[in-house]
Structure 1
Amino acid sequence: MRPLIVTEFVSLDGVYEEHSPWRAPYDPDDGPFKRDELFASGALLLGRTTYEAFAAYWPTATGAFADRMNALPKYVATSRPGPLGWNATALGPDVPADVQALKSQPGGPLLLYGSGTLAQTLLRRGLVDELRLMVFPLVLGRGKRIFDTLEHLPLTLLATRALGTGVLLLTYGPARP
């Protein structure tokens, strides 16, 4: 069974999205982590908003990271009809069931980038095997928070890593009895 890994940029107060876009401070140490994460993946899982932003950028980007991003199959949670481009397939109306089916297929890990609403749905359903939070040293005070819709989610800390400029990578898995 292939694991589902969710990776999110969040502020110290848990905000993953705010209406006025915030830019997380970039550090060269972030690059190798994101590269390793992408190259270890077998497919991307994306919400429609993230898919559209990525599909507008990555097909014209160059380099090994862009080549890998473009080559990976993508599965998109969307309710909009119509075909998707950029090597993407729309998931059906029962997204958790479709994700469970994808997890049962052979292949490398499914990597969910951003897509906070989709991440919340899959966390709530117990489908996430690993949650990677890149926590930036920034308090936004408002915006969509990654855990807003989750009432009880016991997690186990698997690893911590400092990425530079105060960014911490916190890796969690589901709490096991």
Structure 2
Amino acid sequence: MRELMVDMFSTLDGYGGGGPRSAPYWGYGTPGLFEWLHAQLAEEHVMLMGATTYRQMSEIVTKGDDPTFSRMAELPKIVFSKTLQPPLTWANTTIIDEPVETAVPALKAEADGLPMRTIGSQSLVRSLFRLGLVDRLRVMVFPMIHGAAGEELLFAELPVLDLNLTGSTAIDDRLVLLDYRVGGD
């Protein structure tokens, strides 16, 4: 059975976007973070995303010169959408227009498939959690509190979840990665 992992970038108070700093990674794009990102992209996996994230990311990677963009193009991608139509501009992308509740269990049941990871796509992530399809959650905690200026609360609409901490890693002197198995022991 294929593993489905959700990666989230979060402020200490649980915000995943916007806020008082609009810079990528809220201005914490450190060598340690980029080393971690490159290591994650080096692992073979399938990226799962929704149509909005696909539109945003495919535009960013075609206009940018980040060294991770060529690797992202190489990796297989699945986008869940009823609105996107082929041909797609981002290489190695497959559109699935079936409901997530039937498509993802079928993908997970493939014995010889690569592990799957979400990229962005908060509404997709919420659906995956609500359906009980997530095996692993990794949260990269950024050392800031957005408080009243916060946007995109990451965990507010998720169901009650039991998490089992399987690891924690200090990425550098600022960032911490928390790695959880979803479900009880």
TM > 0.5 between the two?
yes
Q: Indicate conservation of the 8 Å contact 2:5/2:117, yes or no.
A: yes
Decide which of 148, 168, 177 is 2:176's aligned counterpart: 168
Q: Is the 8 A contact 1:158 1:171 kept in 2?
A: yes
Matched, 1:7 2:7: yes
Paired residues for 1:1-177 under 5 Å: 1-18=1-18, 22-23=22-23, 24=26, 25-59=28-62, 61=64, 65-83=68-86, 84-86=88-90, 87-105=92-110, 106-141=112-147, 142-177=150-185
Equivalent AA in structure 2 for residue 120 of structure 1: R
- In the alignment, the residues of structure 1 paired with residue 18 and residue 39 of structure 2 have an alpha-carbon distance, to the nearest angstrom, of 27
Q: Shift of residue 22 of structure 1? A: 3.1
The letter for the 2-side match of 1:18 is G
**More moved, 43-52 vs 14-23:** 14-23
By how many angstroms is 1:99 displaced? 1.6
Task: Rate the CA distance shift 1:151–1:2 in 2: closer, same or farther, 3 A.
Answer: closer
What letter is aligned with 2:124? Answer: L
What letter corresponds to residue 174 of structure 2 in structure 1? G
Q: Tell me how far apart the structure 2 counterparts of residues 4 and 113 of structure 1 sit (CA, whole Å).
A: 12
Cα offset, 1:133, TM superposition: 0.7
Cα shift at 1:67: 2.4
The one-letter code sitting in structure 1 at the alignment partner of 2:156 is D
Secondary structure at 2:171's aligned position in 1? strand
CA distance in 2, matches of 1:164, 1:19: 23
TM-score of the pair, normalised by structure 1 = 0.88
Q: Compared with structure 1, are the counterparts of its residues 70 and 156 closer, same or farther at alpha carbon in structure 2 (3 Å cutoff)?
A: same
TM-score, normalization by structure 2: 0.85
In structure 1, runs of 5+ residues without a counterpart are none
> Aligned partners of 2:175, 2:19: CA distance in 1, in Å?
22
Structure 2 regions of 5+ residues with no counterpart?
none
* Structure 1 runs of 4+ with >6 Å offset: none
Q: 1:134 to 1:173 in 2, by over 3 A?
A: same
Q: Secondary structure at the match of 1:135?
A: strand
Q: Is the 8 A contact 1:41 1:110 kept in 2?
A: no
How many residue pairs get aligned? The number is: 177
8 Å CA contact retained: 1:5, 1:132: yes
Cα distance in 1 for partners of 2:44, 2:153 equals 26
Amino acid of the structure 1 residue aligned with 2:39:
D
**What is the CA–CA distance in structure 1 between the aligned matches of 2:132 and 2:159, rounded to whole Å?**
13
